[in-house]
């Protein structure tokens, strides 16, 4: 989740300080490199590198950059490792255009090959440069700028927002598809950004472009046109009144709640990326040929690996061994070899336990691949290749959107292992994967008030259980972990059928027990519900609505109807919300729970 900012004024001025401050206000989104460009007549001044705004801006003297138009960008690597050449903004072949984007262009590799074949100068692996060349292609063919953008928009697949300018002009152009973008109108200037925080200190008069729209920015006005036909769109400006803190959190009181609600969008972006990634097919072929397949992770990532192993068995008929990273070293590493494949999973890519397991595996010759959210991290460099999670920066310590995108990646890979291609629908239909983001949105819309009410009722309890079966067992483990992390209550996640083998003795009147049920597991879950209810427990079931569950449980948090493989993924959303509400009710900050760190770099 990068950040972009563009600025247009009516005269040459010192734009460096404006660009630096705008970049600083976007740093909460997370980034690995930063760059700035100014356009002054026929000259483009471009400066960029890996590092933080404070360091890079001083090293390259951003404060001295002058012009009438400027662009700055914070990059979170997806295509191309963090490096100076991959940092944004980017210029075109002749140095007449400069632009930067936020998001992912999933057909980046194919377009780069086309541009090279057409004789363009392609300097990086980054999809931000691909956006620039996509416009350059049609300008070279004689199209006007707006029409060149319209045609480029049709070539660029994925979710992104993009800003671009040309020498010897007085405008910037911006357009969006899927990613956020907002335009500001001030006194003698206009600006555009991926997010409000970089705009609000300058002006509170804004315009919100929609997907499929092109904005032309002059110093005194903006113009919105349709990508489809190029016609003008009458889009009224509005005045923003929220505080900076509220805007950074998207209007939510905590980053955790914001990130829970971001899950449908990052899921959508991930699915687009996986469809366009050439590395997916390579990984699938390696896994198909493996003697043994291991999914190695810790904590939340381990829960994703566990549900991934269920998906691989149920969908692809292929066993995969999920294992906690330290236990992998003792239990499996001595026996692995060249015929085996390991997928090492880490949100940060710096988890020491996972890196230790990776080192042990590679010392035995095992083929090792990664799944991480931070491109350029140690894990992404140490494995043969690493699939990105496309979640952007996750500020809140408890993992939410990184977990769901890990689960979606494993589900996607299981479909591909089974010969079901999510991008084409070949073989047995896989279009159900495309429904995941909307189903997540529908779930969030449906559960809000009910989950908050249940949280209030059970908040007095400092001990509880979360139970699941099959694909919902890892979801129960993850829900229990979230409750422990941010409410400081003890919640044990367990296989529902194991509860009668001992823990049943803990049940007392009103004791809360949460069941997560898949569509095919209702009879089994009903048995478990009654087993605890007759002993006084409060049975709360998260599942698709079913009259049998209504008749037996105390509470049913109803999920939308979906494919049986998707339903468990939806089931984690109420558990995230339950944890969040209970944490806030207890007066804790869910973003920064005590004793925990986002990245665990110790043994």
CB 6 within 8 A of CB 70: yes
Specify the pLDDT at position 429: 41
Q: How large is the angle between the packed helices 401-417 and 567-585, nearest 10 degrees?
A: 170
Residue 24: active-site member? no
107 and 234 housed in the same domain:
yes
The answer to the question of residue 260 being in a domain is yes
C-alpha radius of gyration, the chain, whole number: 25
Overall average pLDDT of the 346-351 stretch:
88
Which range marks the domain in which residue 348 is found? 252-429
Distance (Å, whole) CA 320 – CA 310: 8
Distance (Å, whole) CA 568 – CA 525: 14
The one-character DSSP state at 92 is -
Residue 381 in tokens: 């460099």
CATH code where residue 136 lies: 3.60.20.10
Specify the pLDDT at position 374: 83
The answer to the question of residue 496 being in a domain is yes
In the chain, how many domains are there?
Answer: 3
3-state SS string for 376-399: CCHHHHHCCCEEECCCCCCCCCCC
User: Cα 403–408–409 angle (5° rounding)?
Assistant: 100
The answer to the question of residue 116 being in a domain is yes
Among 248, 268, 291, give the residue marking a domain's end: 248
Specify the pLDDT at position 428: 40
Give the pLDDT confidence of 437-491 residue by residue, as tens digits. Answer: 999 999 999 999 999 999 999 999 999 999 999 999 999 999 999 999 999 999 9
219 and 297 housed in the same domain:
no
Q: Is the peptide bond before 303 cis (omega within 30 degrees of 0)?
A: no
The answer to the question of residue 434 being in a domain is no
The answer to the question of residue 602 being in a domain is no
Overall average pLDDT of the 512-526 stretch:
94
Percent of the chain scoring above 70 in pLDDT: 97
328 and 400 housed in the same domain:
yes
Mean pLDDT of the chain: 92
Distance (Å, whole) CA 272 – CA 309: 23
Res. 430 pLDDT band, cuts 50 70 90: low
CA distances from 321 to 38, 149, 352, 388 (A): 52, 48, 20, 22
Give the pLDDT confidence of 129-175 residue by residue, as tens digits. Answer: 999 999 999 999 999 999 999 999 999 998 899 999 999 999 999 99
- What element of type H or E holds 202? none
Q: Exposed, middle or buried: residue 450 (CB in 10 Å: 0-12, 13-18, 19+)?
A: middle
The answer to the question of residue 450 being in a domain is yes
Overall average pLDDT of the 179-201 stretch:
92
Catalytic residue, from 205, 286, 352, 598: name it: 598
Specify the pLDDT at position 350: 86
Spatial CA neighbour of 39 closest among 160, 137, 128, 164 = 164
164 and 17 housed in the same domain:
yes
62 and 192 housed in the same domain:
yes
Distance (Å, whole) CA 192 – CA 172: 9
Among 372, 398, 429, give the residue marking a domain's end: 429
Distance (Å, whole) CA 514 – CA 289: 40
Given a cut of 50, whether residue 421 has pLDDT beyond it is yes
Specify the pLDDT at position 422: 60
Given a cut of 90, whether residue 2 has pLDDT beyond it is no
265 and 394 housed in the same domain:
yes
The answer to the question of residue 603 being in a domain is no
Residue 125 in tokens: 């692996």
User: Cα 391–392–398 angle (5° rounding)?
Assistant: 70
238 and 367 housed in the same domain:
no
151 and 243 housed in the same domain:
yes
CATH code where residue 352 lies: 3.40.50.10490
234 and 294 housed in the same domain:
no
Percent of the chain scoring above 90 in pLDDT: 80
Specify the pLDDT at position 36: 97
The answer to the question of residue 600 being in a domain is no
Give the pLDDT confidence of 536-593 residue by residue, as tens digits. Answer: 999 999 999 999 999 999 999 999 999 999 999 999 999 999 999 999 999 999 998 8
Specify the pLDDT at position 425: 46
* pTM of the entire predicted model: 0.82
242 and 270 housed in the same domain:
no
Given a cut of 90, whether residue 247 has pLDDT beyond it is no
Among 214, 248, 282, give the residue marking a domain's end: 248
Specify the pLDDT at position 77: 86
Residue 2: active-site member? yes
Res. 423 pLDDT band, cuts 50 70 90: low
Distance (Å, whole) CA 202 – CA 187: 9
Give the pLDDT confidence of 19-30 residue by residue, as tens digits. Answer: 999 999 888 777
417 and 465 housed in the same domain:
no
* Residue showing tokens 């070539």: 155
Distance (Å, whole) CA 585 – CA 487: 9
- What element of type H or E holds 523? helix 522-533
Residue 246 in tokens: 């509220």
Specify the pLDDT at position 603: 55
Distance (Å, whole) CA 577 – CA 445: 12
CA distances from 508 to 7, 462, 505, 522 (A): 63, 13, 8, 24
164 and 121 housed in the same domain:
yes
């Amino acid at each position: 989740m990068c950040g972009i900012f563009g600025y247009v004024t009516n005269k040459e001025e010192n734009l460096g300080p404006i660009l630096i401050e705008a970049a600083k206000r976007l740093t909460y989104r997370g980034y690995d490199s930063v760059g700035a460009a100014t356009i002054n007549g026929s000259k483009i001044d471009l400066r960029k590198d890996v590092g933080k705004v404070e360091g890079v801006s001083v090293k390259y003297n951003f404060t001295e950059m002058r012009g009438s138009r400027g662009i700055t960008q914070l990059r979170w690597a997806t295509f191309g490792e963090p490096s100076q050449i991959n940092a944004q903004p980017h210029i075109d072949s002749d140095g007449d255009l400069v632009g930067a984007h936020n998001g992912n262009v999933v057909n980046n590799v194919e377009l780069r090959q086309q541009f090279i074949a057409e004789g363009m100068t392609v300097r990086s692996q980054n999809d931000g440069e691909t956006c620039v060349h996509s416009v350059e292609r049609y300008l070279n063919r004689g199209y006007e700028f707006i029409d060149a953008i319209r045609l480029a928009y049709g070539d660029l697949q994925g979710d992104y927002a993009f800003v671009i300018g040309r020498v010897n002009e007085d405008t910037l152009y911006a357009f969006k598809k899927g990613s956020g973008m907002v335009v500001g109108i001030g006194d003698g200037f206009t600006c555009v950004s991926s997010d409000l925080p970089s705009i609000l200190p300058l002006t509170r008069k804004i315009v919100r472009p929609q997907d499929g729209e092109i904005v032309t920015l002059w110093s005194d006005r903006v113009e919105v046109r349709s990508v489809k036909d190029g016609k003008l769109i009458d889009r009224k400006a509005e005045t923003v009144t929220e505080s900076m803190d509220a805007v950074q959190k998207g209007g939510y009181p905590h980053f955790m709640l914001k990130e829970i609600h971001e899950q449908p969008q990052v899921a959508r972006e991930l699915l687009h990326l996986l469809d366009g990634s050439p590395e997916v097919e390579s990984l699938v072929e390696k896994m198909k040929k493996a003697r043994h397949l291991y999914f190695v992770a810790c904590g939340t990532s381990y829960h994703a690996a566990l549900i991934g192993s269920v998906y691989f068995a149920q969908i692809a008929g292929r066993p995969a061994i999920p294992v906690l990273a330290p236990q992998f070293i003792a239990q499996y590493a001595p026996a692995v070899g060249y015929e085996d494949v390991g997928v090492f999973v880490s949100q940060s890519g710096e988890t020491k336990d996972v890196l230790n397991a990776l080192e042990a595996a590679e010392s035995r010759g095992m083929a090792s691949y990664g799944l991480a959210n931070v491109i350029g991290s140690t894990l992404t460099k140490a494995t043969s290749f690493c699939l990105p999670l496309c979640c952007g920066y996750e500020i809140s310590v408890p993992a939410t959107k990184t977990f769901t995108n890990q689960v979606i990646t494993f589900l996607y890979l299981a479909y591909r292992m089974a010969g079901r291609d999510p991008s084409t629908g070949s073989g047995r239909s896989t279009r159900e994967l495309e429904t995941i983001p909307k189903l997540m949105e529908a779930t969030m819309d449906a559960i809000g008030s009910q989950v908050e009410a249940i949280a209030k009722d059970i908040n007095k309890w400092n001990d509880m259980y979360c139970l699941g079966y099959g694909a919902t067992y890892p979801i129960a483990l993850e829900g229990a972990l979230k409750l422990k992390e941010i409410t400081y209550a003890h919640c044990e996640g367990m296989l529902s059928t194991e509860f009668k083998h001992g823990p049943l003795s803990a049940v007392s009147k009103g004791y809360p027990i949460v069941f997560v049920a898949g569509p095919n597991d209702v009879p089994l879950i009903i048995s478990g519900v009654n087993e605890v209810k007759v002993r006084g427990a409060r049975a709360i079931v998260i599942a698709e609505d079913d009259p049998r569950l209504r008749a037996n449980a105390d509470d049913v948090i109803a999920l939308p109807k979906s494919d049986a493989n998707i339903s468990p993924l939806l089931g984690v959303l109420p558990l995230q919300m339950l944890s969040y509400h209970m944490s806030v009710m207890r007066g804790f900050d869910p973003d920064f729970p005590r004793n925990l760190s986002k990245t665990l770099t110790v043994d």
